[in-house]
Amino acid sequence: MKIEVIEEVWRELGKCEMCGIRDLVLFADLNEDDFKLIHQPIVDMQLKPLQTLFRTDDSPDFVYTIRSGLVKLVNYSSDGRYRIVRLLGKGDLVGIEVLNGQPYAHCAEALEPLAVCRIPVSEVLRINRDTPRLHEQMLARWQKISSDADCWITELSTGQARQRVIHLLLHLASISDSDDFFLPSREDMGAMLAITTETASRMISALRNEKVLQVLEKNRARADLVQMRTLL
């Protein structure tokens, strides 16, 4: 559990209106006038794997939209062990709970090289007060979080270790936009699936022996998805 300081690489973002993933983000439905409500800057940040966006006790002043990369939300439980409760990817909004006046509910760490837009909470609240065009997006985002959580419970926390690993790999492949996909460290797989790192490792080895999974460079893999689904 390394603690590293965030090296922030700032770059003033021209305009949200020009955003390449405009249709995916929280501000998708805003019009030109709405954007005039933004006074404080929305800044672009790049993070390297292991760096944190925020921790539970950080001052809840920003939310983050993911432009590219993968983020894990981690819950450190009272007895020391930790559990990854969610994965967020392109277009997702990290830290949404602070928009309700809550503290950050998790620790958010980059898994892959990460590009995010850092949005001041005050700006979202202002826009949300002055135009109705955020409401639907907000509700849709909460909805997605909730259905992802259901999936996490039914697919990733139920059944035998082997099935959980396969479900996880299928999920990772489905949210990847390239042919290969992100393969977490065995420790992280364990924290997602509530199994040990050794068990995770054994399952990955087995799938490799069975030729349904190829491990590429560090943290990347490719899989025969069709055949893998038959193994469930």
CA distances from 152 to 49, 117, 181 (A): 23, 26, 19
4 counts as binding DNA under rule CB under 7 A: no
Return the number of the residue (123 or 188) whose C-beta is nearest DNA.
188
Residues 13, 70: Cα–Cα separation, whole Å: 21
CB-based burial label for 84 (10 Å; 0-12, 13-18, 19+) = buried
The residue range among 31-39, 71-79, 145-153, 195-203 that interacts with DNA, by the rule CB under 7 A, is 195-203
Residues 28, 134: Cα–Cα separation, whole Å: 8
157 counts as binding DNA under rule CB under 7 A: no
Return the number of the residue (43 or 194) whose C-beta is nearest DNA.
194
222 counts as binding DNA under rule CB under 7 A: no
Structure tokens at 35: 């954007």
Return the number of the residue (175 or 194) whose C-beta is nearest its own copies.
194
| Residue from 18, 218, 226, 230 binding DNA (CB under 7 A) | 218
Asked if residue 94 lies in contact with residue 66, where contact means CB atoms within 8 angstroms, the answer is: yes
Return the number of the residue (143 or 205) whose C-beta is nearest DNA.
205
Residues 70, 72: Cα–Cα separation, whole Å: 7
Query: What x-and-dash track marks residues 165-194 binding DNA by CB under 7 A?
Result: --------------------xxx------x
Chain residues that interact with DNA, rule: CB under 7 A: 160-162, 185-187, 194-199, 201-202, 204-205, 208, 215, 218
